[in-house]
Amino acid sequence: MTHNNDSNRRQFLKQGGAIAAASTLVAGAAPRVHAAQDSTIQVALVGCGGRGTGAAVNALSVQNGPLKLVAMGDVFPHRQKASYASLAGKFPNKVDVPEERKFIGFDAYKHAIDALNPGDVVIFATPPAFRWLHFSYAIEKGVNVFMEKPVTVDGPTCKRMFALAEKAKEKNLKVGVGLMCRHCKARQALADKIHNGELGDVLHLRAYRMAGPTGSAAAPPIPEGVNELEHQIKHFHGFLWLSGGAVSDFLIHNIDEGCWAKGEWPVEARASGGRHYRGDKIDQNFDTYSLEYTFADGSKMSVEGRTIPGCQNEFATFVHGTKGGAIFSSRGHVPARSRVYKGQNFVKDDLVWSYPEPEPNPYQEEWNDLIKAIREDEAYNEVERGVKSSLVTSMGRMAAHTGQKITYDEFLNCEHEFAPGLADLKLGGPSPLMAGANGKYPVPQPGLNPVTEY
């Protein structure tokens, strides 16, 4: 699968709205199991942390027919217990998860999916490393999927997920990917204006996610008596094999917004970054990232990421065109406050258009769209777009970590798989990445290691 064949502008724009159109459905695909007497869609949650619990809240809040949470899976009992208590408290009539359907361990995803029927939905909110493995089993069982972003972390898993996306289409499965900004009504309205030429030619895009310490990106030393693998999973943002690190998990939304606004995927990336106030932290992240993407027409997108306390914070995406400029998003994920200006200074007197508030919550809109597609048997598969967004984000990360210019195809064809033995992991067992004698892990060394990230 090559970049030039897959990401032409026309196909990209077809995929760029709220729902990514799937290819022609195969005759004899998965049956519409919810069209009979019982129209309840059953849901299983795999990955019971904050994001997984939030996704389950949005799923159970959909008003388009009855839904019920029936199974949960995680590697940590305490996290599952907290998630169950929260969900059962909010939705006492929609949570039916007895002890025998609460599964713990690396095989919990199989048991949770086995508790469903074909046509039900499983939520994948584990660290991204496990996405392809879990998705494979869901396809085998004929279960619809909602998976959190990013969906890949390296070249081999990108290729694997592209292939799995096609298998899911062949079985007429509906698959959502947690790039919820694509379902934001304000961003959709602005994207339409940009694609219709109201800004002229898009020459430059700027994106920022600059804040203090975020998520579990700054991982502390392993406490005495704690298993190394389990410690890494608890701090998964700190380890490239698990999450792709801070770039993949935090910057992907802004990068995806910029690509959506441009209507293309970039062909190459250059980047820099560095570690600063690290103390005793053992993670693999840089504290600052400066990424420059180039599109096929030579236009650029610059992306700035920082996780250092005490600095100026900004979380926004800007678009600069030959006829004017736009703020794609300006206040994080919600609300976007999308606006168009006649100049490039983004001042009040130059305002041409703004999306009216209040904005619908895109976290809820992505679930409304997915459940509607399931109930109405609409083509719905966001995986290919999710893989490309994950790939492009990782391409920038690799450029920063190696100090080299990295093209789309070079990243896709890089053979360094971060966790080749993923399917064999066990609780209490070794990790795909083991610490050195000093208790620390290999960190990227731009220039010294120009081929792989560690």
If you average pLDDT over every residue of the chain, what do you get?
A: 92
Measure the CA–CA gap between 262 and 257, rounded to whole angstroms: 9
Q: What is the pLDDT of residue 11?
A: 46
**Domain region containing 325:** 183-361+392-412
9 and 86, same domain (yes or no):
yes
Mean pLDDT across the stretch 102-112? Answer: 98
pLDDT at residue 232 in the model: 97
Summarize pLDDT for 131-157 with one digit per residue, the tens: 999 999 999 999 999 999 999 999 999
Q: How confident is the model at residue 5 (pLDDT cuts 50, 70, 90)?
A: very low
Q: What is the mean pLDDT of residues 43-63?
A: 98
Looking at the structure, tell me whether residues 236 and 355 fall in a common domain.
yes
Under the banding of pLDDT at 50, 70 and 90, the label for residue 10 is very low
Q: In terms of domains, do 166 and 194 share one?
A: no
Residue 58's pLDDT band (cuts 50, 70, 90): very high
Q: Are residues 59 and 143 in the same domain?
A: yes
Same domain for 212 and 101: no
Q: Is residue 249 part of a domain?
A: yes
Task: Report DSSP state, residue 287.
Answer: S
Query: Is residue 12 in a domain?
Result: yes
Helix, strand, coil percentages in the chain from 3-state DSSP, rounded to 5: 35, 20, 45
The domain that holds 288 is classified in CATH as: 3.30.360.10
pLDDT at 260: 98
In the block, tokens 């959506």 appear at 260
Cα 334 from Cα 337, distance rounded (Å):
8
Judgement on whether residues 204 and 238 belong to the same structural domain of the protein:
yes
Residues 169 and 260 in one domain: no
- For 346-377, letters b (16+ CB in 10 Å) and e give beeeeeeeebeeebebbbbbbbbbbbbbbbeb
- Express each pLDDT in 304-362 by its tens digit: 999 999 999 999 999 999 999 999 999 889 999 999 999 999 999 999 999 999 999 99
Same domain? 339 vs 379: no
pLDDT digits (tens, 9 = 90+) for 242-253: 999 999 999 999
pLDDT of residue 38: 76
- Is residue 454 a part of any domain in this protein? no
Q: What is the pLDDT of residues 154-172, one digit of tens each?
A: 999 999 999 999 999 999 9
Residues across the chain = 454
Give the residue-averaged pLDDT of 177-181: 98
Same domain as 191, residue 165: no
For residue 250, the 8-state DSSP code is I
Would you say residue 166 lies in a domain? yes
274 belongs to a structural domain: yes
Q: Provide the pLDDT confidence category of residue 16 given band limits of 50, 70 and 90.
A: very low
Neighbours of 296 (CB within 10 A): 15
Site of tokens 């399931």: 374
pLDDT of residue 33: 46
Find the mean pLDDT for residues 256-261.
98
pLDDT at 278: 84
Nearest to 329 by CA among 343, 316, 340, 341: 316
Residue 236 maps to a domain: yes
Sequence-separated (6 or more) residues with CB below 8 Å from residue 386: 147, 149, 150, 151, 161, 177, 179
Query: Does the pLDDT value for residue 1 go beyond 70?
Result: no
Q: How many domains does the chain have?
A: 2
Q: Are residues 401 and 369 in the same domain?
A: no
Over range 217-225, report the average pLDDT. Answer: 94
Q: Please tell me whether residues 130 and 200 are part of one structural domain.
A: no
Per residue in 360-382, pLDDT tens? 999 999 999 999 999 999 999 99
Q: Is residue 144 part of a domain?
A: yes
Lowest mean pLDDT among 11-25, 95-109, 283-297: 11-25
> Structure pTM?
0.92
**What digits encode the pLDDT tens for the residues 378-435?**
999 999 999 999 999 999 999 999 999 999 999 999 999 999 999 999 999 999 999 9
- Residue 325 included in any domain: yes
129 and 250 inside one domain: no
